[in-house]
Amino acid sequence: MIQEKAKEIFDRASEEIGSVSTTKDLYELKVKYLGKSGEFSLLMRDLGQLSKEDRPIVGKEINVLKRQLTEMLDDKQQALQSSEMAEKLEKDRLDLTLSGPTRVRGSRHPLSLVMEEIVDILANIGFSVRTGPLIESDWYNFEALNIPKDHPARDMQDTFYIDETHVLRTHTSPIQIRTMEKEEPPIRILAPGSVFRCDSDVTHSPNFYQIEGLLIDKEVSMAHLKGTISYFVKSFFGPEIETRFRPSFFPFTEPSAEVDCSCPKCKGEGCRLCSHTGWIEIGGSGLVHPKVIEYAKLDSKKWQGFAFGFGIERMAMIKYGIDDIRLFNENNTDFLSQFI
């Protein structure tokens, strides 16, 4: 009788376990059949009605059914837990396919590119970079470069004065003097950097960049200067570009020459960039004035040299066909991102 009832409860429980679909419902089934007031517990109470001999036999049979039911509940519990976890993971999945915020990639400033290219070209023939202060003494900026007070050349350069004896350097030439003072010739250096002049229009900026070159050695001539400049121009603008020297005057060089190159845009035919002359002025040069060599505490009978200087903005404007110098400082990313 009790065995039959136990079997009936067991079969019903198995069936319900088979059809349950959540861990919550499964827990309720567990309470319903195996809890303190569950159906099997109530059944155990009826064991008292049995004879002493039958009680342990029937009790054992019921316990076997209870153990089987417990195992079935545990198995179902595990199965439901893993399927619920999988469902939760599926529901909470991160959608990594959504595109993120766009980040604009930066590019090098055209002046940095031009400066580095010039340094690279001249480094190939033994020149290396030196730097110096932006605020210079009157001595290094003018006097040591053979530009005494009241010299008309000082009018050529509209100077920002810090005080009576200090200026924002108007060129990177002071680095040449400082290097000659410190280093033993032979010297081959480049002096790139910021310079300052009171000047501002479409082709002039109060703060602009220069690169100067200085070579000090024995028996240096204009031929060495011309060879160096010609190599540089062909490397920078192209092998078909010619170089031309025009006599000029600078206090710190003697003889002095303006450097022109054949127009890289029209190849010498004549265009707006070169004012229809076929030539473009790119910088100044000359043999270092013996007085400058002496000011830098070297023996001008033993040592000679040549020097040259280019405006970085001017070189960039010619190379890239830019007609307004102010574009370099406007931080317009449409303009700047063209140069890679």
Burial of 171 (0-12, 13-18, 19+ CB in 10 A): buried
Could you give the CA distance from residue 252 to residue 241 in angstroms, rounded to a whole number? 28
Length of the chain: 340
Report in angstroms how near the CB of residue 280 gets to Zn ion at its nearest. 7
Is 55 or 265 the residue whose CB approaches Zn ion more closely?
A: 265
Residue 33 to residues 14, 128, 142, 267, Cα–Cα distance (Å): 10, 92, 106, 101
Report in angstroms how near the CB of residue 233 gets to Zn ion at its nearest. 15
Report in angstroms how near the CB of residue 274 gets to Zn ion at its nearest. 3
Report in angstroms how near the CB of residue 283 gets to Zn ion at its nearest. 17
| Residue nearest Zn ion by beta-carbon distance | 263
Residues in contact with Zn ion by CB under 5 A are 263, 265-266, 271, 273-274
Q: Are strands 166-168 and 135-137 parallel, antiparallel or unpaired?
A: antiparallel
Report in angstroms how near the CB of residue 262 gets to Zn ion at its nearest. 8
Does residue 248 contact residue 259 with C-beta atoms inside 8 Å?
no
Is 24 or 246 the residue whose CB approaches Zn ion more closely?
A: 246
Is 183 or 324 the residue whose CB approaches Zn ion more closely?
A: 324
DSSP, residue by residue, 45-74: HGGGGS-TTHHHHHHHHHHHHHHHHHHHHH
Is 43 or 259 the residue whose CB approaches Zn ion more closely?
A: 259
Is 168 or 274 the residue whose CB approaches Zn ion more closely?
A: 274
Report in angstroms how near the CB of residue 282 gets to Zn ion at its nearest. 13
Read off the tokens for 134: 């932006």
Could you give the CA distance from residue 30 to residue 77 in angstroms, rounded to a whole number? 10
Q: Let me know the angle formed at the C-alpha of 320 by 316 and 324, rounded to the nearest 5 degrees.
A: 70
Is 199 or 324 the residue whose CB approaches Zn ion more closely?
A: 324
Report in angstroms how near the CB of residue 259 gets to Zn ion at its nearest. 16
Strands (E), the chain: 128-129, 135-137, 161-163, 166-168, 187-196, 207-217, 243-250, 253-262, 279-288, 304-311
Is 182 or 276 the residue whose CB approaches Zn ion more closely?
A: 276
